[in-house]
Amino acid sequence: MEFLRLMRPAHWSKNVFVFAALIFSRKLAGEPGEVFLAVASSFAAFACFCLASSAVYAFNDIIDRHSDRLHPEKCDRPIASGRVSVGWATLLVAICASAAVISSYMLAWNLGTIVTGYLLMMAAYSLFLKQTLILDVIIIAVGFALRAVAGAVAVGTFISPWLIICTFALCLFLGFSKRQGEALKLGQDAEQFRNTLASYTPQLLAHMLDVTSGLAVVCFLLYTMDQRTLRLFGTNNLVYTTPFVLYCVFRFSALIQQGKYSEPVQLLLRDWPFQIGVLLWGAAVIAIIYGERMGISVTGLWAF
């Protein structure tokens, strides 16, 4: 059980970005055999990133075990609490990382390269890059963008650059939101647990949240109005899902800045209004992209 906690299965939800290419490339529409292969490949890539991210979490906990013992919440983590030794945790890191790399190379050579690059980048992050202001959040956002690219590689499709940039900007927003939550929760003691929190002033974080949230929304709008999107879906109606996007972004920002959640994952798993907003956006996206195949004509809904 402690080894499973060390792998942080609740955080595997972050790897859903792998499925973006599966949905937005219309791979769910086609011959049953092709659809099955695309879905299976996406889930396989998702599993690879679950293993890789678990290796990263465990490695990071090994590095941070001393500071985690002083943290009001992280002190209960398996390594910080002493329930899992550094030796056993290191073995878990090796097993998860090896399994992720080997399985990803078995699926596709490019996917293996992405997973290996992700592991190396996050190892560098855990060792020293997380001590660098702003770059610490950029590295995390790049990791999520790699998930989206990996999903495209897994199903053998092209992914729009606007979608990648949108993912990157959205994850910058999530990363700065996490820093905001940590700063609010830890107060004056924040620097003891993360050196960069001393440099992340409330004003700077508020500015970063405004910039990154706006950038994410603008990139999504540019993706919906892109000519390739029109050719692929036969419509630009994805732009009409923007109210759901704005609601989710604004609610997320408000709850984080109010200090109600210190971790984005907590908000994602516990706040039901936010969850409803995401589900409604997802349903609208699927209806627009696959509407014709499902017998739902939405292409000309607003054509007047």
pLDDT digits (tens, 9 = 90+) for 107-156: 999 999 999 999 999 999 999 888 888 898 999 999 999 999 999 999 98
Amino acid at 137: V
Decide if pLDDT at 239 tops 90.
Answer: yes
As a whole-number percent, the residues of the chain with pLDDT over 70 amount to 91
pLDDT score, position 303 = 45
179 pLDDT higher than 80: yes
C-alpha 80/C-alpha 203 separation (Å) is 32
Give CA separation, 103 vs 19, 97, 181, 279, in Å. 18, 10, 35, 31
pLDDT grade, residue 265 (50/70/90)?
confident
Would you state the pLDDT for residue 48? Answer: 96
Phi, psi of 276 (to 5 degrees): -65, -40
Token pair of 284 as six digits? 């609208």
Model pLDDT, residue 304: 41
